[in-house]
Structures are given as structure tokens and as C-alpha cells.
Structure 1
Amino acid sequence: MGSLFKGFERIEEARDRLSGRSFMAGLFAGRPDFPLLLLPEESPAETEVWESYRPRLETFLTTQVDPDEIERTAKIPDAVLQGLFAIGAFGMKIPKEYGGLGFSYTNYGRALMLIASWSNVLALTVAVPQSIGIAMPVLLFGTEEQKRKYLPLVAREAISAFALTESVTGSDAANVQTDAVLDSGGMAYRLSGEKLWCTNGTIARYITLIARVPARRELCDGRTVWVPVPEGKEAEDRVHTAFILDMDLPGVRVRQRCQFEGCRGIENAYMTFRNVRIPAANVIGDVGRGLKYALTILNVGRAISIPAICLGMAKQAWQPTLDRANDRVTFQRPLAERQTQRMRVGRMAADLFAMEALAFSVWRMADRRDYDVRIESAIAKICCSERTIRFLKDAQTIFGGMGYETADSKRVRGEPAFGIEQLVRDAEMYRIGEGATDILRPFVAREALDPHLERARTYLEEEPIGLRRLVKLGSLAAFYIPWYLRQWIPSPLPSRPEFRHPNVRPKLRFVERASRRLARAMFYSVAWHRQALRDDQGRQNRIESIGEDLAAIAITGLYAEAQRGTAGYVEAWDLADEVFREAKVRVKRQIRALISNRDARSAGLGVKTLGGACPALSAGIIARGLRDYQMPEKDAVGTGEGRKQAAV
């Protein structure tokens, strides 16, 4: 059903159907399975692993890492990277048998959150090799020989990276143009192309690279597989394939270390490949399944790395913000006594609690191998990145002018040198990286609509006529009439003590009711809009937004009860109630807008302005278009042979 989501056709081909338990899948279907949110308590052994490692990591950060120096110089010192290798921080997710620490996802998330609370740039540098560098694809899809050769290296001495994005692709992962062609001897591939925004690319020894391989289909052991063709002759298609690339190979060129608004210490590369010879043994998994592998490993970053880093950044800002609100006096009154700021801080507290509850829940789901967390991962990434930006902007508002000034500038006068402006600049990276919000929302909607899209394939994608139309409509009616009637019948909450708590029960009842309303609204959207739904990102975004808020309500309610029961944290109920209060209003509004909205009017105005219908909006200035800012091609960094390593 890829044609219903325009531009996602290649990604749709690589997509697997949900293969494990998923709370979000049930919620979108109108039948949330609340017991899926009651995950087993962490084992004492896993708790001990973290408690024994945490002091070592914390001591290293506070004694060996100067985050202000990283921001000032835009460089992580080599001594810091080597120190992290020495304490195993680059091998947290690698099993002990291959030289790593063998952490659970939950402990890995805790570690990244701790590092990010000291330096989010350092946390990102540590996360990339383990989330999307060669560690995860080799672990999940590589041969035993590849695991024994490469995993000890990236755990203890060699930084790795992930090369997917190209200048013409952005978030369109399927539109890779880099080629890897099997040579005539069948022993190596010749790689040509380029990659952009490869985090850690300027310092990596190995990268996971996705390229297109000319291949043809063949039948092998009863299944159709892609077989690469020498020199690309008689190929049926160019299929996405994953490789381990040694950055020391001849023909690899790092053309530029990219610079960004924030995250100044990251080593992000624009690189080119000219006739690079990659041994055939360096193919990861099967030819033609590289995009599938890429989508799978990106789930790790979405579920664990990005939420953990965002949580660390928000928690880093929390206490300084409270201190500022309590200490700053305006018009003879502390800022903390003003209702506007009290409301702002209350919302910040609720956001932080929701992010923590959602992140830890998804981490624990990921540790359970019988869960399919692709929807939960995307929602966790969206929720944590978006709320962190709002959280940090609220904190900057409380700091006022001090929030706009750099830490180094404040230090000169003896002011507390807390860099909230840096955190605000850095946070945008996590909204964009590993699946931008505007891409992940349609992705979630696609998964949510999957049962309808599969069942009504013929009805949605073509116009049945005559008897064939009647037969199809009859078949759909036989299923959907009883299905639709069930969506009006409440389902009782499971008879477990966690769900009977007076502060949990009303929240879950609202989620169950709203889930059925959402299921009906999604059904109306599919039935009425059919093919038009593929371009209706307004409705797609609302589907994700409603699911995100309902998940936040359910998870924070149960999380608050767990916090109260195990840690005596009674204030958790105030936080969960605030999450519920705000989310409930949004859910009701978004469900109504899912059925009836004015998106077409706004989009129509956008069409006019994109077509040049409002030139007066540029009047009164020295008008320049985007191309006016482009340097001559001869001066661009990508031309010529360049250097092996771009200048820092």
C-alpha cells in the first residue's frame, strides 16, 4: 500500500509487518492492551551492572571532560575519546564475548542520559557507533566472522559511523545514488558516490555504508534473492545493500567537516568515494536488504539514543532553571512568585516527567525481545525531541537576557556560566537526526492505518466496477459492520490492582474511550478520502499526535503509581495529572480535526505563494533568492581531488 503514502514506495518495499507485541498498534485499532505497559521489574543483576558502572562513568566525566572546552574549541580531545574507550563506553551495547560491556537497552539509555547531562555532544559521539555505526548492523545481520573481526575493534579502539544520507536524499532514505558494482572477478565491489552529514565521519575508522548494487533476481532454496551482477551487466535493478567500509581504503575522501548551528564538537563529514575497492566479504547480510537493515537499526537510535540524550539535556537545565526562578528578583518580587512563571515551570515539570516515563518504558520494551517497538520508538523520538526544545526554550525565557548570553561571556563578569543558549542551539539536532519529526509522523500514521490499508487494498487503490465492485464492497461490509459496532462498546479495564488505583483508572478509561474514537475517525478518513489520504499530511500528523498524547497519558499514569509505590514519590501524581490535563484537551481537538478541518485552505495559500503569487512580501529589502548565496562551482569544497582529511 505504499502508493497511499507518496514518496515512501521504496521504503514500503523494505518494510516488515509488525512481528511482535505492540501497545501502540492496539491503541490505534481501538483496543489498547494496557497489560503490555506493565513490564517486569528490572532484575537485581541488571541494576547492579548499572550501579557499579555509574560511579566510574560519572567520575570520568567530572574529572576528565571539560564541556565548555568542547563548546569553545568545537573539538572533543583525543584523550577524552581514548578514556571513554578505556572504560568501555564505546562498547556498552556490544556483548561481552565480543569485547563489550553487554548492557541492556535500559542501562545503555541511562549511561547516555548521564553523559548528555554533562555534554550532549559527547553523548552523541558515543551513541552513534553503538546505535547506527557498524556495531548494531553487524550484531543483527553480520556473519560470525564479521562479528569476531570488527566488534572488538569498535568496542575498544576504533570509532565507527553510519553513512546513509546524501545531498539529494535528506530524509528520503530510499533515494540513495551511491553505487557499488561487483567487479568481473566477483571478489570486490567498486564504490563511487558521496555521503553527507555522516556523524563521526571525520574521525571514524569504519562506517556502515548503504549503496545501490546492480543485481538480478534468482531463485535460491525456494525463495527469491538478489544476486549482484559483475560490471552491472544485465541487472534488473540497483538494490540497497549494506557494507562495512574501511575509511583508510584508497579513494575515500573526507571533503569537509560540516559546521552547524549547535553541537559544535561533533565530527560530521561530507565525503566522496571514487573507485573504492570494497571486499565482497564486507557485505552485511544479504544483497538488496540494506534499506531494511537501515530502517531496523535506526529504531535503536529513535528508541534509546535520542530520548536519552534529550532527557540528559533537559535534566541538566532543570535545577539551574529553578535556581534562577527563585533567585531572580524583578520589581521587588522573586520571579518564582509570578503566576506566568509558575505556570511555565509547572508545564516544564510535566514535560520532563512525561519524557522520562515514555523513554524508560520504551527502553524496557526494547529489552523484551517479544515486543515490536517501531511505532513506540518513533513516538518516543518525536515526543522527547519536541518537548526538549519547548522545555529548553521555556528555561531560556526564565533566564531572560542571561539566557541569550553565552556561558563564556557570563563567566567574565563572575556570573554563573550555565550555557542555556548552547542547549537551545544544540537541541534542534535531535529533532532532525535519525528521522525528522515531519517524516516520522507519516511513518507512524502508516503503521496505524496498516490494517485498513491491507484489508481494503483494491477499494483504495483502484476503482472497482460492476460485479467486482459489489463483491469487494460486500466483503468489506461483512468485516467492517461488526468491527464498527465494536468501536462503540467500551472494553473493561483489566482486573489488576495497577489499573484499579483511583488516580490511574480515570486516565486509562479516557485512553480507552479516545482510542475507540480515534479508530472510528481513522476509518472515516480512509473510507472518505481514499487516495487523497496519501498527500494529506495534516491528517497523518494528527493521527501520530493523538497516539502520542494517549500513550503519554497511559504511561505517565502507570509510571506515577510505580514511583509512588517504590520510592514514595507522591508528587508524581501531580505531574501525571498535569500531563493528563493538557493532553486530554489536545486529543479531543485533534480527533475532531481529523474528521473535519481546514487544512486545504492553508495548503491552497501555500500553493499560491510557492508559485510566486505574493511577490509583494519581499518588497522593501535587497531581495536575494537562495541561489544568490551559492558560491561559484569552482570554489566549492566538493570539486577536485581534495585532501584525505578535511581541515578542522
Structure 2
Amino acid sequence: MRIGLSRGRHPEESRMTQLFKGLERIEEARERLTGRSFMAGVFAGAPDFSLLLTPEEPPEQKAAWEEFRPRLESFLTTQVDPDEIERTARIPDSVIKGLFALGAFAMKIPKEYGGLGLSYSYYGRALVLIAGWSNILALTVAVPQSIGIAMPLLLFGSEEQRRRYLPIVAREAVSAFALTEPMTGSDAANIRTEAVLDAGGSAFIVNGEKLWCTNGPIARYVTLIARVPAKREQRGGQSVWVPVPEGKEADDSVPTALILDMTTPGVVVRQRCQFEGCRGIENAYMTFSDVRIPAENLIGEVGRGLRYALTILNVGRAVSIPAICLGMAKQAWLPTLDRANSRVTFQKPLGERQTQRMRVGRMAAQLLAMEALASAVWSMADQHRYDVRIEAAIAKIFCSEQTIRFLKDAQTLFGGMGYETADSKRVRGEPAFGIEQLVRDAEMYRIGEGATDILRPFVAREGLNLHLERARNYFDEKVTGLRRVAEVWRLVRFYVPWYLRQWRRRPWPSGSVFQHAKVRPRLAFVERASRRLARATFYAMMRHGPALRDDQGRQNRIEEVGEDLLVIATTALYAEAQERTTGHAEAWDLADEIFRETKPRVARQTRELMWNRDRPVTDVGAKAVDGTYAFLSDGIIPRTLQDYRSPEKRPLRPEKQAI
């Protein structure tokens, strides 16, 4: 069986074990799957649907939630004015203090450290509730518990660190996460901020800068990811990084996680960043000049900071972002229905027109799908025996993208009223619902904690993992002669039976839910489509081999097919649960719509893994980037990006540079 390309290879195909150009260090930091994963099974052509079943919440968790929820609802409705937050671009101190008193900043912190100890599922529901009132407030509450110091310490910190810091961040001190830098953006592996161990080994001296640190201006503590000069040493039979005083004779400068007290001399918040939306968030550009961080503030091990960062970001992707997006969509749902029923044009309510009924029908189905997917991922995370990194990334992609689509549809239905601000409408006595604010705010959730265009290749990398790991030696140009023959034979022995299995239907899972008249055909489609996806991915590997490293069109299709299959499966199971537990059989109307919309897209995207028309538009884009179509700026006064800098910061044009 021929796998890959012929021996005549293009120079671009060196280092073939790396699929995605420019992401090598992130690939090194990536942990291999350590638990069961539904999506890993989907990409391998063998989905295990039992992983999607939602077990009953423990009674103590339900009791804790039932005690907390009404107090949170009361606080939101009596103490929080979302319009004031939008108008002033600030969350009042009284609101922050009130949330601390409620325990809202300690939902995920165990009770032994002063928190509420809620499960991921109830934490997600709390964020939905808060975001349904004010998504800015939900984000402010979520950051400390998802990526502030609480989660890093719970996962990787020492017991001494947990007992010292967790009670403080549970009840009085906001925390944040500092990873992104001006020159890196989503390229987290190339951070430049450095933390050098001092001569005495008692403290790290930090110099550098961080950008877009949510909660930074109001945070007391920050999880700081910085580079530490270190040497490789063998300890206990393992190779570990050890920081070297003053950076002398370091083998490398490796990403490391540290607890930073923002009151430390040398920490300066240079700017509170302003954005298109999310006006109330506190977001910092900060610099560090000879900042001393005690050595005992090291989180975990030196050199594992990027790995820790990628791990804790899963919490935001799996729970926080999907929950906030779901809350925002739910916030717009009833006002949109009111608009459809009350707005009369040409003697008819909008809700009686086919175009608007189709629009509202899509919105209803999207809302159910978001809730189904988010709930399933939260439940998997709660069981602590699954590796949900792929599901977390897909939940973040799906919920953020669908929320933007949902809110834009709502804004379209509102017409001119959807473009006008809430305060402006209030002057005339109109309902002051700020759909335009929600539309502006939603874009941030597509970008934050892993932009869609970054997460799709990440998911595709996991989808290709079976083949990449298996064919690693074959793609290594150093493997020649008899070793290459042996490698080809090894691959043939694996892939012949593997390929034949992709044409056979898997045994059907036991359990009454899988025999449901509507669940079974949808999951059967997912199972068949999963095997087709596995075959198509294999074909693409055979045909394109290492060239897939730069083929983001195919990478995106792998992710999008996997995303659609996960949505179909979770939506069907969610509709069955709604019918069985609450009597809402009408949930199937929405699940059916999701299936109708998604099924043909799965077939098309799978087919296009082999044959597509990406090349022509890619070539046009390459020419555009190179300036081929300069005439497109004719008719205006052309300005480049540099022309928008303040005059004193503009670089000299070549003809004006000093000789």
C-alpha cells in the first residue's frame, strides 16, 4: 500500500513529522490523549456513543446549586444594571464585592479552600444565568475561575500554594491570566517575556510585556507565563529543566508558569484596552521592569508553562465561552419573538412572513444545538476520566460562531431598531433592548481563548493523529534502504485490516436510549459518516502526504465534519432526554432541523477532502497579498496600515531613511 508521496520531494516537505508549519513548539507542548475521547473515536471511524450519555448529578451538587441559584438571580436583578455597565464601561465596585460575598468568584474552588465546589455543569449553568443578564459580568467572573490562578493551582500547584492563595481569590481578590504579547497573538509558543533566576536563587527577575490580559487592571494576582533560562538535567531517571542563576550557561529559555502579585514594584498597567464591544471588561496592556517574583511562586515544573496554559485554556473553551455565548443567545431569544409578533409591516406581523419564520426557525434550532453540545461537554468534563480537549475546542468554535449568526439574525429581524443603541431608543420610550451591543460583544468570544482559525487546525491535528503517529518514521527522510522497506511493510500490515474495518458497521451500543426511534437513525448516520471521514482522511494522507501541513482548507474540512457529527449526536441525545425527563417532545422539531441542515454539509465536506477548488482562490489571495491588484485602491486617497500610526511612530519610508 502506497502512503505519502514519491521519493522526489519538494524542499518544503522537510521535517515531515510536523503537520502544521509554525506550530512546532505548541506541538511539542501538546500532551497525548490521556483518557477516552468521543471525538478521537469519530476521527478514527469508531465513535463510542456511550461517552455522550449524561449521568445524574450527585444529590449534594444539586442541593448546592438549588441553594446558590436563587441568591444569584436575586443579586443580578436587584444589584446589577447592565445598561449602566455598557454606558460607563465599568462594573461598579459594589457589584464585584457583592459577587465575592455570594461566592460567585469561587464556584469552581473546592469547599476546603473556601469555595462552593460546584461541578462544571452547574458552573456552566451559573455562567449562562449571569450572561443572560450581562455577558460582561459573566466574563469577569469566569476568567479567575477558568484561567486565573485558581485552576492552575488546583491542577499543578502545591498544597501550600493552594491553602495560601485559593481562600483569597475565592472571597476577596480578582485574578487573571497573562500569556499573550503584542508580537505573538495566538502564537503562544513564541512569548518573549523573560523570568531569570537571581544569583541567590531566591527570586525570578521578570522583564517584558503582556497584552489583552482580561481583568488585569483590577487583578491582585496573575498567572504569568514567562521564559526561564534553564538547563537540562537528569533527576530520578527523568530529564527535567532546572533554572540557572542569572541565565548563565542555559541550554534554552523555556515557558514557565509563575504567580505574580500585581502590587509588586515594577509592574505597570500601561493601558486599559478598548474594544469594539465588551465595554465593561477590564483588559490590560502591562509591562514588567525588574519585577521580583519569589522562587516559591513557581507553579509546577520549570519548562511546562505552555503545556499548563494549553491545559487550563481547555476549561475556558469547554465551559466558560460556550456558557457565556449560550447566555447571550438566550438573552436575545424572547425579545426577538416579541419583535416578530408585535412589529407589523404592510398589514402583517413579521412572524407571519415566510422569510422571518425561516429565520426564527433556524435560530430556535441553533439554540437547542448550542445547549445540547455545551451540556454534553460539561458532563464529560465532570466525569474526570475523559480527555475533552477536542470536544472543548469544538464547543468553543461552535458556540461562538453560532452565537454570532444567531444574534445577527435577531438584529436583522429588528431592522433599524436593531442598529440603534438601547440608550437612544430609551429616549423615545421604545423598548431599550440592546441587540446591537450583543452583536458587538459576540465577536470577542470568537477570538478569545483560541480564535476559530487557530482551533480548527488544532482539532484537525487530533483528527490526523492516528496517521501522523503511525507514519512518523515513514515521513522521516533519514529513514532509507531496508529500514524504509520494513517501515512500509509495517504500515501495510496495520492499514490493510484497518481500512477493511472502515467499511463494516460497528456493533450497536446497548441501552434503551440507543433504541429510540429517532435517536438510532441519527447516531447510525454519525457512525457511517465517521467511517467515511476516516477513509477520506486516509485518502488525503495517501494523496497529499506532508503537503497537508499547509493545506488549511482540508484541515478545516476535517474539523467541520467532526464538529457537525458531534452536534448531530449531542442534539439527538439531548432531544431524547428532554422528551423523557420533561415531556418536551417538541424538542425533536429542533433536532430534526439540525439534522436536515447538517447532513448534506457532512457529505459535501467529506467529499471535498479529496477534490475541491481551493487552489484558484488561494492563488488569487497570494497575488493580492503580493500587491498584484493595486488598482483596487484607485479612486480614493490610499493609506496603508502604517499611515494610521501617529506621525511620531511612523517608520521612515525607504527614500527618507538616513544614509
TM range (shorter): over 0.9
Q: Does 1:376 align with 2:395?
A: no
Partner of 1:338: 353
1:474 Cα deviation (Å)?
1.1
1:461 Cα deviation (Å)?
3.9
Aligned counterparts, 1:60-79, within 5 A: 60-79=75-94
Using the size of structure 1 for normalisation, the TM-score is 0.97
Aligned counterparts of 2:603 and 2:238: Cα–Cα separation in 1: 48
Q: Is the 8 A contact 2:643 2:650 kept in 1?
A: no
Question: Which one of the candidate residues 258, 264, 267 is aligned to 2:282?
Answer: 267
Question: Which one of the candidate residues 191, 197, 200 is aligned to 2:212?
Answer: 197
1:50 Cα deviation (Å)?
1.1
What do the CA deviations read for 1:419-466 (whole angstroms, capped 9, x no partner)?
A: 000000000000000000000000000011111100100223437543
Partner of 1:641: none
Letter in 1 for 2:426: R
1:328 Cα deviation (Å)?
0.7
SS in 2 for 1:344: helix
Same amino acid, percent of matched pairs: 74
Partner of 2:199: 184
Compute the RMSD of aligned alpha carbons.
Answer: 1.2
Q: Does 1:613 align with 2:646?
A: no
Aligned counterparts, 1:588-607, within 5 A: 588-607=603-622
Q: Taking structure 1 as reference, are residues 461 and 525 closer, same or farther at Cα in structure 2, changes over 3 Å only?
A: farther
SS in 2 for 1:62: helix
1:13 Cα deviation (Å)?
1.0
Partner of 1:642: none
Q: Is the 8 A contact 1:21 1:371 kept in 2?
A: yes
Aligned counterparts, 1:43-192, within 5 A: 43-192=58-207
SS in 2 for 1:76: coil
Q: Is the 8 A contact 2:111 2:117 kept in 1?
A: yes
**Unaligned stretches of 5+ residues in structure 1:** 637-648
What do the CA deviations read for 1:573-631 (whole angstroms, capped 9, x no partner)?
A: 11110111111011011001111111121111111110000001111011000000011
Question: Which one of the candidate residues 29, 33, 39 is aligned to 2:48?
Answer: 33
Q: Is the 8 A contact 1:194 1:271 kept in 2?
A: yes
Q: Does 1:518 align with 2:533?
A: yes
Partner of 2:487: 472
Aligned counterparts of 1:401 and 1:121: Cα–Cα separation in 2: 25
Aligned counterparts of 1:588 and 1:222: Cα–Cα separation in 2: 50
Q: Is the 8 A contact 1:2 1:9 kept in 2?
A: no
Partner of 1:314: 329
Aligned counterparts of 2:182 and 2:262: Cα–Cα separation in 1: 20
Deviation larger for 564-573 or 454-463: 454-463
What do the CA deviations read for 1:35-72 (whole angstroms, capped 9, x no partner)?
A: 11113122232222111111000000000000000000
Partner of 1:646: none
Letter in 2 for 1:521: A
1:632 Cα deviation (Å)?
4.1
Aligned counterparts, 1:342-421, within 5 A: 342-421=357-436
Aligned counterparts, 1:284-295, within 5 A: 284-295=299-310
Q: Taking structure 1 as reference, are residues 352 and 2 closer, same or farther at Cα in structure 2, changes over 3 Å only?
A: farther
Q: Does 1:16 align with 2:31?
A: yes
Deviation larger for 468-477 or 72-81: 468-477
Aligned counterparts of 1:161 and 1:495: Cα–Cα separation in 2: 45
**Unaligned stretches of 5+ residues in structure 2:** 1-15, 652-659
Aligned counterparts of 1:133 and 1:494: Cα–Cα separation in 2: 40
Question: Which one of the candidate residues 419, 427, 450 is aligned to 1:435?
Answer: 450
Partner of 1:508: 523
Q: Is the 8 A contact 2:231 2:244 kept in 1?
A: yes
Aligned counterparts of 1:86 and 1:246: Cα–Cα separation in 2: 22
Aligned counterparts of 1:45 and 1:100: Cα–Cα separation in 2: 15
Aligned counterparts of 1:226 and 1:256: Cα–Cα separation in 2: 34
SS in 2 for 1:513: helix
1:493 Cα deviation (Å)?
1.8
Letter in 1 for 2:607: R
Aligned counterparts of 2:489 and 2:235: Cα–Cα separation in 1: 40
Letter in 2 for 1:345: V
Aligned counterparts of 2:507 and 2:576: Cα–Cα separation in 1: 20
Q: How many residue pairs were aligned?
A: 636
Partner of 1:639: none
Partner of 1:587: 602
1:634 Cα deviation (Å)?
6.4
Letter in 2 for 1:321: T
Q: Taking structure 1 as reference, are residues 557 and 498 closer, same or farther at Cα in structure 2, changes over 3 Å only?
A: same
